Structure 1
Amino acid sequence: MPLDNYGVWKAHPVDHKVDRRGSDKPHLTLYFRNNGGGVYEAAINIKSGDLDESRLAYWVNEDMNDHPLVEGLSHLPTGFKRLDDTEPEPGGLRLDYIRGNLFDVNTGRILEHDITGLNNDIIDVLVPRVQQAIDEGAVVYIFGEQYESQSGIHNVHMNQGNIRRYSGDDGVLQDGALLFHFPESDKWTGLFLAFGSQSVHTSEDGGHALSRVAWRDLLPGDLVENSVVIRGATVNPSSGAQSVILANLTNRKVSLARWRIRNSRWEQQVLPRHATLGASAAAEFDVLDCPLSEDGDTITLLNSDGLKVAGVSYSSRQGIQDGPIVFAG
């Protein structure tokens, strides 16, 4: 049967802990408060119980301000709002990864729980975003299933298209997620999680898997930071503005929303929220806020989390040449 007591919890995040290698059932636990009162917890899966496929898929929607969900969520009082006692119809507050157009499927990645190195597993994705929400006083909207004790919430992930062992939890319009509202910037961001073994096609009546195609078959197994290079730059334009050419090395569209191009003086150009690169495509971006020196300079590409994606440098000889500088890669 579908989840019991499915809903959304509007709260203020205050702390977190993460289970690393060696844990039987690792979670990221997000601690939160209502307006005053005690501390509650959200148990967020960071590894699947499927022995054949333990990885998680994730998507980040950096700009959800215009999504229809936002209007309804913003008027909710702090606390848990049960949603499974309403009709599961599209257009309400209930989430559905397949039917809700919550994110661009092609921007997803599938990652291991905890592996050696930096910026290469699901913990490296989740922890910085959760910590940012805590540091900046964001409001969090946690979708999932409330504990029977009412002391917390779990199943904060896709809840349909499960393998047979977990198919009893399947249902439509009952998916879990984390949405953050940052009051100072009035920015809404969504973080969506699924198990690599879950089906990408599900039935309308019960949310059961309709095909054997799972997220592990559809999504790349690396972080998006490995996907874009700096292909060229125009430093000494005969007309127009200075610019940088970025190229997508993957066969999937990459969102560049809020990515940054930085020079050696740490001046930076923030890319537009709708900036994208199509599969195996390249695009030119003006760098009006990040002037490139004709005496030689460095150009660094950072993702929306401030992590370095790519970097190049050029000499004074290249800086005064006519036409674009071409970089290998």
Structure 2
Amino acid sequence: MPVRDYGVWKALPVHYEFEDRYEDPESPHLSLYYHDNKANPPQFDPGYRRNHRGGPRDPNRPSEIPGLFRAAINIKSRDEETRLAYFVRHDFVNHPIAEKLAKLDFGFHPMRKVDELDGKGLDYIRGALFTSQKGRVLPHDIPGVNNDLIDVLEPEVKKAIQAQATIFVFGSMFKTRNGIHNVHMNQGNILNFRNDDGVFQDGGLLIRYDDHWTGVLLAFASQAVHTDDNDGHALEPLVTWTDVLPVDRVENSVTITEALVNPQGADDRAARTKESITLGNLTSHEVSLESWSFHNSAGQTQDLPRNAVLAPWAMRKFEVPNCPLSNSGDTITLLNEKGLRVDGVSYGRRQGQQEGRPIVFAH
């Protein structure tokens, strides 16, 4: 039996809150509050309702806000595999569903009554909504930068609110009619939720800006990526998002792409300050390099600059005056803030003797 009361809500977002690992370590949500009355919006002062973090949840603090609807977005699974698969597409305007959704009036629309979509909602498998290779499997809330679901989801909803964008939330309306849930993939479920399986009934958040659309799509990492075309049940052999998506491991995030070992000029201290190592970010997200370091075979180290970051798919050169690179051959190791190896390369005497030309490392 598919999820109940499935549809899409066209609305205007005004506020958000999320539960971190202290507030709810079991079944946390990001709550996105919105209204659908563009002509006469409700008055809401976000100052009175601040997101509580850093301690247990206040049992006396209600989830609902008078006058607003709430989208309850899962950010952790109760399954043994607690992570979620996350997909974001910033060119969603190119998907044919965008033009059709733009014609809808504000408010909740049961999918069976949406003629513009022929009664079909989102489908992660059949709808060509995203390129799966660009997805990420992420935990709920862990220390670090841009490495968990809160880190990637919060900026998207915050931007939508600040830009006064229009949102389209796909999922199941609450029984109380004051919000929506199941804002995630709703097929290929584990046994406990198999009754919710169905096709063209997946949840998601689409955001319409003045000049572009963004699609934010979530699935439980344990859900199947191949499902039956009729009932949405997982097909055998079982393949899940965990199996097909790259997991964010530090050793796969950044590589040493080049090293200028023998700068033009004499091999003295002045020249050595021009020795450099170039790093490349292999991911679609920003990587913080704070407290990372280079090491040579002699045990000398060079700390990377404070607050150093690598933009998505970017390369950046770092001078290494405290970590001299031998012209006779050497090893270069990149360690993260925990002292764990992220990447390592080596070169021989012949490469080290090439004056003024960087050594390019293939990975």
* TM-score, shorter chain, exceeding 0.5: yes
Matched, 1:140 2:140: no
CA shift digits 1:147-182 (9 cap, x unpaired): 122100000000000001000000000000011111
Uncovered stretches (5+) of structure 2, i.e. residues with no partner:
43-66, 260-277, 287-307, 321-354
Q: Distance in 2 between matches of 1:324 and 1:124?
A: 36
Greater Cα offset, 16-25 or 160-169: 16-25
* Conserved? CA contact 1:5–1:84, under 8 Å: no
Matched residue, 2:5: 5
Aligned to 2:225: 200
Partner of 1:209: 234
Aligned-pair CA distance for 1:322: 7.4
In 2 relative to 1, CA 8–223 (structure 1 residues): closer, same or farther, beyond 3 Å? farther
Aligned to 1:302: 311
For residue 302 of structure 1, report the CA deviation from its aligned partner: 1.7
| Other-structure match for 2:84 | 56
Counting aligned pairs with the same residue, the percent is 50
Select which of 27, 30, 45 maps to 1:28.
30
Contact 1:163 1:197 in 2 (8 A): yes
Distance 1:83 1:92, change over 3 A: closer
Give the one of 154, 157, 164 matched to 2:191: 164
Whether contact under 8 Å (1:300, 1:310) holds in the other structure is no
Q: Who is 2:297 aligned against?
A: none
* Superposition misfits of 4+ residues, deviation over 4 angstroms: 89-93, 223-226, 245-249, 321-329
How far apart are the structure 1 equivalents of 2:70 and 2:99? 25
The question of whether the paired residues in 2 share the 8 Å contact of 1:32 and 1:40 is answered with: yes
Q: 1:85, CA displacement in angstroms?
A: 4.7
Tell me, which stretches of 5 or more residues in structure 1 are unaligned? Answer: 234-244, 260-298, 316-320
Name the SS for the 2:224 alignment partner.
Answer: coil
Against the structure 1 CA distance between its residues 215 and 173, is the aligned structure 2 distance closer, same or farther, given a 3 Å change threshold? same
Q: Counterpart in 1 of 2:62?
A: none
Do the aligned partners of residues 74 and 226 (structure 1) sit closer, same or farther apart at CA in structure 2, a change above 3 Å counting? farther
Residue identity in the other structure for 1:82: P
Partner of 1:240: none
Provide the residue aligned with 2:273 in structure 1. Answer: none
Q: Does 1:104 align with 2:107?
A: no
Partner of 1:271: none
Partner of 2:180: 153
Aligned equivalent of 1:284: none
Aligned partners of 2:200 and 2:219: how far apart in 1? Answer: 14
What residue number does 1:222 align with?
248
Question: Which of structures 1 and 2 has the bigger CA Rg?
Answer: 2
- Partners of 1:174 and 1:154 lie apart in 2 by 12
Distance 2:140 2:193 in 1: 20
- TM-score, normalising length from structure 1? 0.71
- How many pairs align? 266
